[in-house]
Structure 1
Amino acid sequence: MTKTPKGRALGSALRQARQDRDLTVRTLAARLGRDPGVLSRWETGERTPKPEQVAQILTSLGVHGEQYEEIIQLTYGANDANWVATTLPAQRQQLAAYVDFEQNATKILEVSPLLIPGLLQTSDYIRVIMTQAEVPAGELAARVAVRIGRRDVITRNAPAQYVALIGEAALRQRLGGREVMIEQIRHLLEMARRPNIDLRVFPFDSGWHPALEGPFHLIETGEGTVVHLENRKSALFLHENSDVRTYRRAAEKVLEAAMNQAESVKLIRYIAKSLEKDDER
């Protein structure tokens, strides 16, 4: 059975609950009277346990309250073709799964028509977005830190290949004022020098293409490819081959509409100089 994003998230939650209590798979399996191999496959997402089996594990581990309920909820629809997250707890679980996929990625393609892609955002740019999105003050610093930490996937040794398809609108939309945008644009130019990053801009005059329907991500890992979509109130994972093919074709059309990297860097540099001149006036 192919691992699903939700099944993988369930397995990760079970593994974390076990590790938090310093138990090995064999120790927990002996306590439950189960085969360690079965428990291991549940934790990797290769197999999906039933709700009553998850309840047995959590009870044995002493997990209760909100954490218990959130993990139990992951068992429902874990093998479905897609995973829609509409509640705050589900969105937190899905974000954890997204970060897990991202950190294990070999290639990431991000289409972002209106905002600078998340992996290329500066801390001040992130803070402006999250403040305007009314992230609670007590969570702001932690969320900014998490997003900055996610950059590691494209800056570490043996980084993932990263294709960023950015709308010209994202470069010209002034979030946080000129200083924030000047820093952000300069950061894009610096990141574009990395050999694993392919940064492309689709200009205003590029006509219709699928990016105008909204942003999306394609994340490739050694275990397959997933698509991630999100809006203000919900997020969606897709992993079926037919869905992945649809978004691959969409990405190809956006690539056709975009400028090549050299032309893109030239435009970004022009926008940076325009911002700097405005700042001097």
Structure 2
Amino acid sequence: MAATPKARALGIAVRKIRNERQVTLRELGERIGRHSGEISRWENGERPFTPERVAQILGALDVNGTRFQEIVSLAYETKNPPWVATALPEREQQLSALIDFEQAATRITEVSPLLVPGLLQEAGYIRAIMGAGGVPSSEVSARVALRLGRREVLTRTDPVTMRAFLGEAVLHQIVGDAGTMAAQLRHLVDSARRPNVELRVVPFRSGWQPALEGAFTLLESEVSTPIVQLENRRSTLFLHEDDDIRAYRQAVDHLDDIALGAAETSRAMARRIQSLERM
């Protein structure tokens, strides 16, 4: 059975702490009386942790307090898809998991009808979103740095392949001011010059199309189950079952048929930049 997103996130959290403590799989196995290969399968999400086993491992790694409770809470219902997060602590766990899923992905497909996807956002655009969205000013700089840091998956030595389908509204919705939007669109044009990044605008004239149902991210890897991430104002959702992945891949195929080509998309963004610069 394929590892669920929650099981993978739990394994990632345990492995991260083990690495922080500089404890090898073999050393941890000796501490808890289990084989290192079994622990490796737990960390990879291939075999489910029980809450009791997670507590034993965290105890062996001298983890306690809030961090202990948050990680143990992940061990409940790891077999039950989908993974829905509504409370802030679990949403933060999902964000941490998403960053790790992005790092492990070989291909990311973003469908975003209204906003520039996070991996393609420029600093001013991010600040405008967070400022208007009510993020406390004391947290903005750290959050901007975190989001900008995620872009490393596009620029590293072995970059992820990214395809983004942007609603035409993304070009016309002014976030911040005209200068902020012009800078953001210039960043998109620059990003599209990378061989691993493909940007496609879905024009207004397309009629009904799947992006009108909402934004989503499809993360695919050569070594793990594909994942779809959905997010709204108060919750996030990870899907991984075959029927769900098939449905979202069909949505991507539909968008691929109707979206502007990459060259035409770049020209559309260039025209919009000129318009914004005149404002």
TM over 0.5: yes
> Could you tell me how far 1:7 is from its partner in structure 2?
0.6
1: CA distance between counterparts of 2:28 and 2:225? 30
1:177-221 CA-partner distances (Å, limit 9, x unpaired): 011011111111111111111110011121110100110011111
Pick which of 162-171 and 131-140 moved more: 131-140
Indicate the residue corresponding to 2:241 in structure 1: 240
Indicate the residue corresponding to 1:159 in structure 2: 159
The aligned amino acid for 2:39 is L
Pick which of 253-262 and 85-94 moved more: 253-262
1:28-53 CA-partner distances (Å, limit 9, x unpaired): 21111122211121112111111111
> Could you tell me how far 1:226 is from its partner in structure 2?
0.8
1: CA distance between counterparts of 2:212 and 2:189? 24
Pick which of 16-25 and 187-196 moved more: 16-25
> Could you tell me how far 1:71 is from its partner in structure 2?
0.6
2: CA distance between counterparts of 1:131 and 1:244? 34
Indicate the residue corresponding to 2:111 in structure 1: 111
Q: Structure 1, unaligned stretches of length 5 or more? A: none
1: CA distance between counterparts of 2:36 and 2:169? 53
Are 1:35 and 2:35 matched, yes or no? yes
1:250-274 CA-partner distances (Å, limit 9, x unpaired): 1111222211111111111111111
Indicate the residue corresponding to 2:274 in structure 1: 273
1: CA distance between counterparts of 2:46 and 2:143? 30
Indicate the residue corresponding to 2:203 in structure 1: 203
1:127-167 CA-partner distances (Å, limit 9, x unpaired): 11112222222321111111111111112222111111001
Q: In structure 2, the residue corresponding to 1:162 is in which secondary structure?
A: strand
Indicate the residue corresponding to 2:23 in structure 1: 23
Q: In structure 1, the residue corresponding to 2:226 is in which secondary structure?
A: strand
Q: In structure 2, the residue corresponding to 1:264 is in which secondary structure?
A: helix
> Could you tell me how far 1:25 is from its partner in structure 2?
1.6
Indicate the residue corresponding to 1:262 in structure 2: 263
> Could you tell me how far 1:81 is from its partner in structure 2?
2.3
Q: In structure 2, the residue corresponding to 1:229 is in which secondary structure?
A: strand
Q: In structure 2, the residue corresponding to 1:48 is in which secondary structure?
A: coil
Give the aligned CA root-mean-square deviation in angstroms: 1.2
Indicate the residue corresponding to 1:11 in structure 2: 11
> Could you tell me how far 1:3 is from its partner in structure 2?
1.6
> Could you tell me how far 1:90 is from its partner in structure 2?
0.5
- TM-score normalised by length of structure 1: 0.95
Pick which of 83-92 and 155-164 moved more: 155-164
1: CA distance between counterparts of 2:118 and 2:18? 31
> Could you tell me how far 1:249 is from its partner in structure 2?
0.6
2: CA distance between counterparts of 1:137 and 1:65? 28
Q: In structure 2, the residue corresponding to 1:218 is in which secondary structure?
A: strand
Q: Structure 2, unaligned stretches of length 5 or more? A: none
1:212-262 CA-partner distances (Å, limit 9, x unpaired): 011001111112311010000000111111100000011111222211111
Q: In structure 2, the residue corresponding to 1:224 is in which secondary structure?
A: coil
Alignment of 1:43-82 (within 5 A): 43-82=43-82
The aligned amino acid for 2:60 is S
2: CA distance between counterparts of 1:17 and 1:192? 37
2: CA distance between counterparts of 1:117 and 1:13? 25
Are 1:179 and 2:184 matched, yes or no? no
2: CA distance between counterparts of 1:42 and 1:49? 6
The aligned amino acid for 1:177 is D
2: CA distance between counterparts of 1:198 and 1:16? 32
1: CA distance between counterparts of 2:28 and 2:195? 45
1: CA distance between counterparts of 2:193 and 2:63? 47
1: CA distance between counterparts of 2:114 and 2:156? 27
1: CA distance between counterparts of 2:196 and 2:32? 46
Q: Which runs of 4+ in 1 moved over 4 A?
A: none
- TM-score normalised by length of structure 2: 0.96
2: CA distance between counterparts of 1:13 and 1:236? 18
Are 1:168 and 2:180 matched, yes or no? no
Paired residues, number: 278
